[in-house]
Amino acid sequence: MDSQDPVVVTEPRPGVLLVTLNRPHVRNAIDHWLAKAMDVALTRLETDPSLGVGILAGAGGHFCSGMDLKAFPTDGVPLVADRGLAGLTRARLRKPLIAAVEGAAVAGGFELALACDLITAADTAFFALPEVARGLIAAEGGAVRLPGRLPYHVAMEMLLTAAPLPASDAARYGLVNRLTPEGGALQAALALADRVQANSGEAVLITKQIVQDTRGLDDRSAYTVQDPLSAPVFTTSAATEGAKAFTEKRPPAWQG
């Protein structure tokens, strides 16, 4: 890679922003420059009304090897304000984000994938949280999210022994939405993005917000959070159009 190449490449497509980590010579390890550039890209996704879905990928056959350990002793963890590692792990994005994983998704790279809403992965990809082996903690979502996404004992083995998890096992446990042959993760992510975009944009955003805001709550508490968010959606023109389209056996207007 030329030293002048951008460390994050953004490619807008109809309704979709493809964000590619672009430090392939270090398996897209995250330093402060990449973190800052990725935060800019994610801000663009959130603020551009023409974009409904984001896809996060890595250049050069790997997703992300996590924090750049060569830079860590002097620079520390590449956090962005209150949005966490690379501006993502604590960001609570409104719009759906899909991780397209090829090769390694380890340490902070796995935590970036865990912060996404959907994951596609090549069958040759693998996930790992090796922080304990380096005297560190999987503190950007690994220890928080993983035990709720995998069987408890599998998650704890990954966290406590640094054991890697092949993508085929991740798919078997439901951590990966789509498993593809090598090189196919991005196309699978684009297909998922198309399926998300085929639905009402407002309904997608509110549904994601409800999921985010009610995780960990008991049912009664969750309904008190959900109802003020969901009730107004039922009175929108999109809801009326969706119901009419169903009864008339036709696509809704937003599908063109």
**Coil, strand or helix at 67:** strand
Q: DSSP character for 132?
A: G
Q: Report the catalytic residues.
A: 111, 131
For residues 177-189, one letter each, b for 16 or more C-beta atoms within 10 angstroms of the residue's C-beta and e for the rest, the string is: bbbbeeebbbebb
Looking at the DSSP bridge assignments, the partners of residue 54 are 17, 97
How far is residue 187's CA from residue 190's CA, in Å, rounded to a whole number?
5
Indicate the helix (H) or strand (E) that contains 149: helix 142-149
Residue 167 CA: distances (Å) to CA of 108, 170, 215, 246, 256: 17, 5, 25, 37, 36
Neighbours of 11 (CB within 10 A): 11
